[in-house]
Structure 1
Amino acid sequence: MRRYVTYMRVSTAKQGRSGLGLDAQERDIDLFLENYSDVPYEIVCGFVDIESGTDDDRPELKKAIEVAKREGAELLISKLDRLSRRVSFIAALMDDKKLKLRVAAMPHADKFQLHIYAALAEQERDFISLRTKAALSVAKAQGRKLGGLRDKTMKRNDAVKANAQRRAEKIAGIVVPLREAGKSLREIAGELDKAGVQTARGGKWSAAQVKRVLERLPD
């Protein structure tokens, strides 16, 4: 019998309380178990951390690893970044011959492939950071004012984003279940209109607006 120890991670307490981030991870794990796992299988136990992916000193992850090794079970996660955002940490776990790792979103990937994916993801994050710093340096060298009106604009934009985020979270209980049930963006928009839920401007919903709501919700 195939045995698993599941591990999930969300970055903030807010995500943990809302369940949205955990729901998405549970969905991916369930899809793996239903479509890719050997049967019969057993879930030995599950662990959840509310910690940043850059912090590798996570108590529940340590427990999950210990139990998986002790029980001869596979450590099952939804996506590789739920384990860590540091390729060195992931590589160390893969080098542990007593630990079996399985990623739901990449059901056929072996340890070598997972290692490559982790390295590429880390390189991409580093490049994005360098690109942002370079853009700021160029703007400063050209004499662009990075404060003043720009700061006021950023604050106003932040307020708009915060309001949009609150609205998205308010209707998450309607939008997320419909999407997970396979409804199209247009169908979800229709259901919101039928329920009397108005957009920020008091109008009817479009597929594009539903898409933006889903993008604002944690995965």
Structure 2
Amino acid sequence: MSQNKPIVVYYRVSTKKQGESGLGLEAQHTYVKHFYPQEPLAELVETMSGKDVTNRPQLQKALELCKRHKATLVVAKIDRLSRNTEQALRIYSDLEGRLESCDIPNLDKFTLTLFMAIADRERELISLRTKAALDEKMKQQGEWRKPSEVFKQGLASPMGVATNKEKAQANENNKRAAAHVKLLREKEEKTWREIASELNEKGFKTSQGGIFQATQAMRLYKEV
């Protein structure tokens, strides 16, 4: 890993959340700076999954810079470049071998092919294990995401409508109670305890269906 050649550093984080928080990015930066302390031509950061290299604008920009300046593309880990053997080898070929990764010393076409093939195989095994686990769960428990009885009976929509109506009625009840609280407080200058008592006498209920206390009457007044 020569310090005299020009380099372009490419960093990638997989999600928007990681990109905003710097999760993973700081570690990549530490790896690169350890092995390549010189000033790079450019450092490009991408927040995107590793599925397809053609849809990564920062990577395409990094490749263009490398070709224009005969620079070496540097990544902290090879999976930050790609998780697909064919894609990684295509980039290696396009750059005429000017590709280096901190996790693969003396990277060449053979070691790149070997590392990528192992990564490909591991991904396939993970996919197979996940599918097998889900199949086994379905055998033991039947359909593991069972619909509720209200959905089975076609009652979900009517129940939703009824719930919304109840919420609307409760909201309207609160509005009327709040207006009454304001009247009693400002016009008749009653205490919060007296106001709560009058609300209960007139049949008003809290949003939970209970009786009013002084603190709840005061809260209603503040929300008006």
| TM-score normalised to structure 1 length | 0.60
CA contact under 8 A between 1:8 and 1:48: conserved in structure 2? Answer: yes
For residue 16 of structure 1, what is the aligned residue in structure 2?
Answer: 19
* Alpha-carbon distance, 1:129 to partner: 0.4
For residue 173 of structure 1, what is the aligned residue in structure 2?
Answer: none
Give the letter aligned to residue 47 of structure 1.
L
Aligned residues: 142
| TM-score normalised to structure 2 length | 0.58
Q: Flag structure 2 segments of 5+ consecutive residues without an equivalent.
A: 147-224
* Alpha-carbon distance, 1:145 to partner: 5.6
For residue 201 of structure 2, what is the aligned residue in structure 1?
Answer: none
CA contact under 8 A between 1:3 and 1:74: conserved in structure 2? Answer: yes
For residue 99 of structure 2, what is the aligned residue in structure 1?
Answer: 101
For residue 139 of structure 2, what is the aligned residue in structure 1?
Answer: 141
* Alpha-carbon distance, 1:45 to partner: 0.9
For residue 4 of structure 1, what is the aligned residue in structure 2?
Answer: 7
For residue 82 of structure 2, what is the aligned residue in structure 1?
Answer: 84
* Alpha-carbon distance, 1:27 to partner: 0.3
**Matches of 1:97 and 1:10 in 2, distance apart?**
23
**Which is higher, the Rg of structure 1 or of structure 2?**
2
CA contact under 8 A between 1:32 and 1:104: conserved in structure 2? Answer: yes
For residue 56 of structure 2, what is the aligned residue in structure 1?
Answer: 58
* Alpha-carbon distance, 1:97 to partner: 5.1
Encode CA deviations 1:27-80: one digit per residue, 9 max, x unaligned. Answer: 01011125xxxxxx5411111111001132100000000101110110000001
For residue 166 of structure 1, what is the aligned residue in structure 2?
Answer: none
Q: How do 1:54-203 residues align onto structure 2 when only pairs under 5 Å count?
A: 54-56=51-53, 57-96=55-94, 98=96, 100-144=98-142, 146-147=144-145
**Matches of 1:116 and 1:13 in 2, distance apart?**
30
Give the letter aligned to residue 135 of structure 1.
A
Q: Percent identity?
A: 42
Instruction: Give secondary structure in 1 for the equivalent of 2:106.
Output: coil
Structure ranking higher on relative contact order (CA contacts 8 Å, 6+ apart): 1
Q: How do 1:43-54 residues align onto structure 2 when only pairs under 5 Å count?
A: 43-54=40-51
Cα 1:132–1:46 change in 2 (3 A) is same
Give the letter aligned to residue 117 of structure 2.
A
For residue 167 of structure 1, what is the aligned residue in structure 2?
Answer: none
**Matches of 1:48 and 1:129 in 2, distance apart?**
28
Give the letter aligned to residue 12 of structure 2.
R
Q: Flag structure 1 segments of 5+ consecutive residues without an equivalent.
A: 35-40, 149-219
Cα 1:97–1:30 change in 2 (3 A) is closer
**Matches of 1:97 and 1:16 in 2, distance apart?**
27
Give the letter aligned to residue 92 of structure 2.
M
**Matches of 2:40 and 2:141 in 1, distance apart?**
59
**Matches of 1:17 and 1:137 in 2, distance apart?**
36
**Matches of 2:99 and 2:78 in 1, distance apart?**
10
**Matches of 2:141 and 2:133 in 1, distance apart?**
13
CA contact under 8 A between 1:87 and 1:118: conserved in structure 2? Answer: yes
